[in-house]
Amino acid sequence: MQKPHNGRWLYVLPNGDVLVAQSNKQPPKKTSSLKDLVAKYIMKRAGAGIDSPDKISLLRDKNSDGIAEYSSDFLTELHSPFGMALIGNDLYVANTNAVMRFHYELGDTKIDIKKYPPEKIVDLPEGDINYHWTKNIIASLDGTKLFVTIGSNSNIGENGLSQEQDRAAILEVDLKTRQKRMYASGLRNPNGLAWQPLTNQLWTVVNERDELGNDLVPDYLTSVDDGDFFGWPYVYYKNHRDPRVKEIMPKNLNLRSPDYALGSHVAALGLVFSNASQFTAPYNNGVFVSEHGSWNRKPFVVEDEAYGRPVGVVIDKKGNLLIADDVGNRVWRVTPK
């Protein structure tokens, strides 16, 4: 079986097949700054500086022994794909520049795009900079909408707030009208999305701002309501103003603090509630969060080498935890025993 090279995000299909989005950021369209070049060098040492595979692979465990014996190129020629969501026979994929819809039949090992050409649902902001390129999606509980995470185009708006249109936010996309609107904002780089199974509340994990030292600012896990504003770039944790930001924060925003701090620069990406897992107490009623690790925090890696970096997390059909490792080029399976 081929290794899922730079596997980032995971999605479990109804028959138990596992989709792995394999991607990286596209090369910059403009000359990079010195800061960007330094970041690229450090991330390459941590295993993140490779060309984007731009595909989704399918993994199948035929005999239910916890090892995928079969793999296939499920979808190819994508554009930095990340989030995935299945509604009926419609598989939605979030490329870095658009949400696409593909026709899927249960058991398919490859999408036939000649028979069923893909459809673009909505454009997503990309542009010359595309600072935070990953876009994740989750379907509403009634299947009529998608929620899309879009990170900021900068650290603290230094590229100009005109570059932040529809960014640092969670957007809501109406699948019938193909219209999008702002659902929540002020989220520097939201990634994982999940519905809390007991309350049907939307939750996310967010990467906060850099360059205020190793111990500021904590990334976080939080519930999200329609109209929430979490402060980026003006403030963090509601009451802490970022002195580097000179723009005045607009009034009449529904400013709130996140629910749980996760530690500074941990780069929280994946998020899945454990209620559907086979884990027992205390792990059966909570949330698993993957911490990818930041490129600019010390200490981060051992002797400048990363052994592994967890990204996407899901619960498989057997109730085990699957973890995508984009440096180890593995999908790990964690069981209670």
CATH code assigned at 194 = 2.120.10.30
pTM exceeding the 0.85 threshold for the entire prediction: yes
Which of 12, 18, 106 minimizes the C-alpha distance to 69?
18
Q: Using an 8 Å Cβ cutoff, are 336 and 23 in contact?
A: no
Residues 20, 74: Cα–Cα separation, whole Å: 9
Residue 259 lies in a domain: yes
Q: Percent of the chain scored above 70 by pLDDT? A: 89
pLDDT of residue 284: 92
Asked whether residue 42 carries a pLDDT value surpassing 60, the answer given is: no
Q: Categorize the per-residue pLDDT at 304 as very low, low, confident or very high, splitting at 50, 70 and 90.
A: low
Q: Which residues contact 273 (CB under 8 A, 6 or more apart)?
A: 194, 195, 196, 197, 203, 286, 287, 288
Over the chain, what is the mean pLDDT? Answer: 92
Residue 214 lies in a domain: yes
Q: Categorize the per-residue pLDDT at 38 as very low, low, confident or very high, splitting at 50, 70 and 90.
A: low
Residue 124 lies in a domain: yes
Of the listed ranges 68-77, 85-94, 191-200, 305-314, the least confidently predicted one is 305-314
Q: Facing residues of 289 across strands?
A: 271
- Is residue 302 classed exposed, middle or buried when 0-12, 13-18 and 19+ CB atoms within 10 A define those classes? exposed
CB atoms within 10 A of CB 262: 20
Asked whether residue 43 carries a pLDDT value surpassing 60, the answer given is: no
The more confident residue out of 112 and 27 is 112
pLDDT of residue 306: 72
Residue 1 lies in a domain: no
Residue 178 lies in a domain: yes
User: Into how many domains does the chain fold?
Assistant: 1
Range of the domain at 286: 7-334
Residue 2 lies in a domain: no
Residue 294 lies in a domain: yes
Q: Percent of the chain scored above 90 by pLDDT? A: 82
Q: Which residues contact 33 (CB under 8 A, 6 or more apart)?
A: none
CB atoms within 10 A of CB 131: 19
DSSP assignment, residue 12?
Answer: E
- Is residue 202 classed exposed, middle or buried when 0-12, 13-18 and 19+ CB atoms within 10 A define those classes? buried
Task: Render pLDDT for 244-289 as a digit per residue (tens, 0 to 9).
Answer: 999 999 999 999 999 999 999 999 999 999 999 999 999 999 999 9
Residues in the chain: 337
pLDDT of residue 1: 46
Asked whether residue 46 carries a pLDDT value surpassing 60, the answer given is: no
Residue 257 lies in a domain: yes
DSSP of 252-272: S-EE---SEEEEET--EEEEE
For the CA atoms of 311, 141, 59, 4, the dihedral, rounded to the nearest 10 degrees, stands at -20
Q: Which residues contact 237 (CB under 8 A, 6 or more apart)?
A: 217, 218, 231, 257, 258, 261
